[in-house]
Amino acid sequence: MQTITTIGLDIAKSVFQVHGVDAAGRVVIRRQLKRRHVLAFFQRLRPCLIGIEACASSHHWSRELQAVGHTVRLMPPVYVKPYVKRQKNDATDAEAICEAVARANMRFVPTKTPEQQSGLVLHRTRHLFVRQQTSLMNVIRAHLAEFGIVAPVGRHGVEELLGIVADPSDKRVPEVARACLAALGAQLRVLKAQILEFDRMITAWHRSSETSRRLDDCPGVGPALATALVATVADPKAFRSGRNFSAWIGLVPKQHSSGGKDRLGSISKQGDRYLRSLFVAGALAVIRYAKIHGTKHRPWLTALLARRPTKVAAIALANKIARMAWAMMAKGERYKQPVALAA
């Protein structure tokens, strides 16, 4: 057991698979571990390199194993898959992880702190509730449309519909349907109140984070995006450049180049969809403000809007904002106004 230098650990809910090799690459151990025996097993080992796929509960196990003296590296599952030999099972996965973690050019995922994971839980829960709110609004509109009752688009239109449901003298809605729609309306109000509470929590966290407050100075970045960046990006210096950070979010064109010919397509849409949507929303807000107040102070944006549709320009601007945000996080600097804006 003392000769083990590298371990591939395939984590799961209950049964974990261990694949360990020595310095020469010879297999020393292959075994399954019940969840309750994992920490005790690794406490008996001398410090070694442990590879884990970056998936559910991987950050928790990374922190636990580092606490007992091991070096832990998390890897995106898509980078481990090429090392899987033929059939897919836990033992083969653990062997692939063990081989992948030893590669010199492998890309690793920094381990998140419990505070960062808590921030992500807050954002994801709010995002789930927003989706449920939209779903409830659509359901209420659809059900009332069956009785010929429609309202203008937007939240105010839904409030008008709920007012009709709450009016017992309006005979267009049968009593059974009225009871169901009233229940949906009550659920909608609960969701709205909870979303407002989550917004207050995000604002409070934003004010308590120095990095988040610095990011808020960047155009197109508000408390929601700033806190999401702080929670998602454990180590900004893990990216070599702003371009790599933007590519990680999925805001750069897909490449299909060969033979010295560069072929660029639409954006890759890889990485975190939620983070990418916040960047695009921020870019659209900057464009909307520029159209209202004039774009003479942003010559780059002015020229882009003159030759490209608004949504295409928004993607390009989101890419630019992402690069600026990375530079501010990696270098610890504040946002610097361009000369044209400062004049």
Q: Which residue has the higher pLDDT, 148 or 297?
A: 148
Q: Note the pTM of the prediction, 2 decimals.
A: 0.88
Residue 343: pLDDT band with limits 50, 70, 90: very low
CA angle 169, 171, 176 (to 5 degrees): 105
Residue 163 to residue 149: CA distance in whole angstroms: 12
Note the pLDDT tens digit of each residue in 254-264. 888 888 888 88
Note the pLDDT tens digit of each residue in 120-156. 999 999 999 999 999 999 999 999 999 999 999 888 8
How many residues in total does the chain contain? 343
Task: Kindly report the backbone phi and psi dihedral angles of residue 267, in degrees, each rounded to the nearest multiple of 5, phi listed first.
Answer: -65, 150
pLDDT of residue 340: 56
- Distances in Å between the alpha carbon of 50 and those of 4, 59, 322? 10, 13, 32
- What SS3 state is found at 9? strand
pLDDT of residue 341: 56
User: DSSP letter string over 62-81?
Assistant: HHHHHHTT-EEEEE-HHHHG
Return the sign of the alpha-carbon dihedral for residues 96, 97, 98, 104. positive
Burial class of 85 by CB neighbour count within 10 A (0 to 12, 13 to 18, 19+)? exposed
Residue 250 to residue 225: CA distance in whole angstroms: 16
Tokens of 268: 């890759």
Note the pLDDT tens digit of each residue in 256-286. 888 888 888 888 888 889 999 999 999 999 9
